[in-house]
Every structure is written in C-alpha cells, then in structure tokens.
Chain A
C-alpha cells in the first residue's frame, strides 16, 4: 500500500499546506488503491476519477499561488450515495433513483466545496439506508475489508469499507439507527454521529426525519473532528439545525489523557441482560479497566427502558419511512412504470416495480402502525415510551458525563445471516434521544476482526465527546496503522 495513503487527513492537510505533498499525488494513490482493491470490496458505486484528478491539479495550483480556498483543500473524501451533489447522480442504492441527477448541492456538500475538498466517489449503502449490512443495495454487495466473507455493516457500509481499506482518508455517511457507527465498528475505524440538529440535512435523502443525522467515518477521532468542523453550522433550510456558531472541533483535540481524570463514565447495567459476543465482552472489560487506570470513575447506571429500544425504534422509524417514501410516486423524478393504465396505477406500479423488499416491508409496517386502528395503540404508545427512555437517560446524565458500552453486541456475520435485534441497541438509543455518539476501534478478536467501543454524550456535548474519545483512542493501544491485507 502506498505510504501516502497511511497519512491521516489532518497530516495530509499539514503536508499539503507545507507543499510536502501534492493533492494530485494523493488522488492518484487513492485511485490506484481503489482500482486494485475495490473489485474485491465493492465499496464504491461510482468513482469520479477524471474530475478528481482535474480538481487536484487545480488545488495544487491554488496552493502554489497561496490561494487556498478552505481548510480541506485538495483532500479527497467519499460521499455516501444519499447526499446530493449538484449535477451528479444520486441513487440511494435504489432502482427507483437509478437515473436521478441532483439539481442542487446538499448544505454539507456546499460547505465541503468551499473548503476545497475533492469528491472522490459515491459509496454503496443499504437501499435508502434501510438495513444494517449494505446487502439491501439494489446494485452491489460490499465486503468487510478485514474478512471478505463478512458484511461490512450498514447502512453506510460502503463508506466504512472504503476508509477501512485505505482507499480514502474519510467519508460521509448518515446515521438513523447506528448506520455510521455500526459499520465503522465492524470495519475497525472511527464513526461519529453528531447531536440531532448540529449538522444540516438539507439535500440528504430522508429515511426517518426525527432520527436522521449526517455522520462521519474516519481513521482517527481528530479526522472526524476535522470533517465535522467543515460541515457544522446553522442552516435555515433544515429547520431543526440550530447550532449558534461555527465550531472548530479540531482545535479542541489534543489527545490529552488527563481529560479522562475526574470524568464519570456510566455503564448501563442493562448491557448484561443481552447475549454479548464473548470476545466483545472481554475487550469491553479491558477498556473499562484502562479507563479506570487513567483516572476515570466508572459507575453503574440503570436505564430500564433500554429494553424497549429496538421495538420502539422499529415503530417510529417505519412510520416515518412510510411518510417519507410516499414522495416516491414516479411523477416528478425517479422510476416510472410503463405498465400503468391510469394515474393511480402509475403510482402503485412505479413503486412496486422499483423498490426493494426491505423498503416495502418497512413501508407496510409503517402504514400499519399509522392506520386509524393501530395509531394510538402502536405509534402513539411508542412515542410515549420514547419519552420514558429520554427521561431515564436524562436522569442517568445527572450521575455521569458519558455513557459507555461496546458499540455492537455482536461481531459482523457472513452474508445472508441476520444480526440479532439487539445488536445495535446502544447506538439506536442515541438516535432516539437525539444524542451524539462516537465509536472508537479498541481491539481485535482472535480471528482478526476489529472491535469498537462507544461513547454517548448529552445533547450538544459534541466537543467534550471528541475530547474524551481522542483520549480513549490514545489509551486504547489500537494500532491505527494496521490495514487489512487486500
């Protein structure tokens, strides 16, 4: 593997600034790496080779003339295929959007363009981000770079695999119920989901609007902070996006393990109610000991409503899915059936012929819980249980600063196998309560698969979350320079 690909985004940034490394060389190395390894992995749906090389040449010229436009000038990034880039296709890995061309830039893309980042390509995902394995993509499978027999996780599986395999320093994903953090953990990298409302979702294909956030996949906590700094900010086009000021997250990251002293870390006792992979548990115990050794206080917290998390999430997420996906009617854009006789038929056939099984299943269940007969019993009740969960989590934060757990309860499975319902329970809790969460790679199993640990903070504690995560990254002993053999 090319040495240049081993640099973190922050290092690349410094080296590009000082003229030590050229953007063109970085892009060329990434393209070579992708061409050499992605046939095996399938992380990318589309590679923007020519355009990226052209942009890199332009970036180099700007840097030479001291006209750097932003702080990601010349640095490549991969974008999950549900975020709009003006004039480019965006499929959300669905047949429905096969020929769709985005008429405008998502806010995050607008910001990244200003920062000078180069969009290397579009990454594979579960169809409309519905899934946890990237297997529901209508186009291709993505394999886990650490062992291609296994799933990379999902729904941002393409982004996770691309970063993990050293094809690109970092990538954007989206996280509705762990869709950034779960694949990041399965692929041995950092995955960050911001507090709900911190980063604009304008121009992102919606899944479940009361949970959706754009997230970041990177090789280090500092790289996540760098990318977060580039995309954070208030946006009137996403009404829930409300940060007051721009935040320079990266300036707060100092890998200072002193920060672990005097913090209180809560471990939910509910963790032990589930079937947890023995090696994950072993790693978790080690992680807790390392945190203790660094001066953190570990306390047991009791959040009884955790047991409702997967069920509650299914009800509300599917209800929101059924409403959001109603926009796909085959009229203004997307797939249109040629077999319809009248307008009503056109709606039904266009949807039926182009949407995948998982999407239809969620629409049907969502329609079921929203139908007059079941609305109060299912949907309304789930919203109330959501309040119960939020109240209990809020109470827990009176006693601790962060909630700590293994990222997943299970290791990645082989293709075609199904993860248990509770696998991502600690990730989904963050979406249900609108809280920030970050997974940091911690260790490896005996068979060489990576294991991640997850910190969840209180709402808008993202700066402190990054600090604690970077300190944890330092004490973890995880070798970030170890790449899967491909």
Chain B
C-alpha cells in the first residue's frame, strides 16, 4: 500500500493519521492487503456473490410513523454530547 493510498482512505473514513503513525498503519494495513492477495486464485467466474446467507428478500414493514414516548426521546437527547431544546447541537458546517 502506498502512502497516498493510506492518506486517501483515511480521509474517506474520517480518521486522522499523524505523520509519525503513518509507517505503522502502512505496515499493518499493508500486511492485510498482501495477505488477502491469494483470494484471486480460485476461479469464481460462474459464482454469484453472497451478501447474506438467509435467502430473505426485501423484508419490509408498513411505512407508518409510530410515536416515540417522550421519556425515550429525552434519554436519546441526553446521550448527545451537546443539545439545545429538542435539537442536537453541532459545530458550524462552514468554519469562519
């Protein structure tokens, strides 16, 4: 794995890697990348990919809004690092 590749995926995954950590990540993630290489060996031309094993398709429920008890709403809001009234509070989307 190349340093630029690592930087790109870290950016996509929203993880910051300090300069002095890059070598370790490159080595460890690179090791897995090398390790999985032999998955290219088997001929899979006629195989369909497995996404899950259940065979279930489109498990739907009725699209009905169910009221959530206030107690639960409060608990969920209280779990937020910052809130105002009944809203989650976050930083400005665009910085100054």
Residues in B neighbouring A236, C-beta threshold 8 A: 61
- B40 sits at the interface (CB 8 A): yes
Residue of B nearest to A307 (CB): B38
Judge whether B72 and A240 touch: CB under 8 Å: no
Contact between chains at A388 and B42 (CB < 8 Å): yes
With A and B bound together, what is the CA distance between A378 and B32 in angstroms?
A: 12
Query: Which residues of the other chain, A, contact B86 by a CB distance below 8 angstroms?
Result: none
Interface contact B42-A365, CB-CB below 8 Å:
no
B32-71: which residues lie under 8 A (CB-CB) from chain A? 32-33, 35-36, 38-40, 42, 44, 47-54, 56, 59, 61
Interface pair A343/B42, CB less than 8 Å apart: no
Interface contact A346-B44, CB-CB below 8 Å = no
**Which one of B25, B76, B79, B90 contacts A343 once the chains associate, using CB atoms below 8 Å?**
B90
Number of A interface residues, CB 8 Å? 68
CB–CB B48/A384 < 8 A: yes
Closest partner residue, chain B, to A239 (CB atom):
B59
Per the bound structure, the CA–CA distance linking A363 and B28 in Å amounts to 13
Distance A388 CA – B49 CA, assembled complex (angstroms): 9
B54 touches A103 (CB 8 A): no
Binary contact readout A189-214 vs B (1 if CB under 8 angstroms, 0 otherwise): 00000001100000000000010000
A385-B39 in contact given A103-B76, A334-B81, A390-B50 (Cβ < 8 Å): yes
A333 touches B80 (CB 8 A): yes
The listed residue (A87, A329, A368, A390) touching B9 by CB distance below 8 A is A368
Name which residue of chain B comes closest to A325, CB basis: B13
- Smallest distance from the beta carbon of A412 to chain B beta carbons, Å? 23
Which residues from chain A contact B36 at a C-beta distance below 8 Å? 311-312, 314-315, 378, 382
Question: Is B39 a contact of A378 with CB atoms below 8 Å?
Answer: yes
Q: How far is the CA of A380 from the CA of B42 in the complex (A)?
A: 13
B 1-46 contacts with A by CB, 8 A? 1, 5-6, 8-10, 12-16, 25, 28-29, 32-33, 35-36, 38-40, 42, 44
User: B39, A335: Cβ atoms under 8 Å?
Assistant: no
Stretch at the interface among A42-50, A171-179, A271-279, A347-355: A347-355
> What residues on A are CB-neighbors of B1 within 8 Å?
368
Complex Cα distance A390/B59, Å?
23
Which residue of chain B has the shortest Cβ distance to A369 in the bound complex? B36
A240 touches B56 (CB 8 A): yes
Name the one of A308, A343, A363 contacting B15, with C-beta atoms under 8 angstroms.
A363
Q: State which residues 232-278 of A face B: CB under 8 Å.
A: 236, 239-240, 242
With A103-B79, A210-B51, A365-B29: A340-B44 Cβ-Cβ less than 8 Å: no
Q: In the complex, A273 Cα to B54 Cα: how many Å?
A: 31
Contact status B56-A239, CB under 8 Å = yes
Q: List 14 A-B contacts (CB under 8 A).
A: A104-B72, A239-B56, A240-B56, A314-B36, A345-B95, A349-B16, A351-B14, A360-B25, A361-B28, A365-B29, A366-B13, A377-B40, A378-B39, A380-B49
Chain A contact residues, CB within 8 Å of chain B:
87, 99-101, 103-104, 196-197, 210, 236, 239-240, 242, 305, 308, 311-312, 314-315, 318, 322, 329-336, 340-349, 351-352, 355, 360-361, 363-368, 371, 377-378, 380-388, 390-391, 421, 433-434, 459
Closest 6 CB pairs of A and B: A434-B53, A383-B49, A336-B81, A342-B95, A239-B59, A384-B44
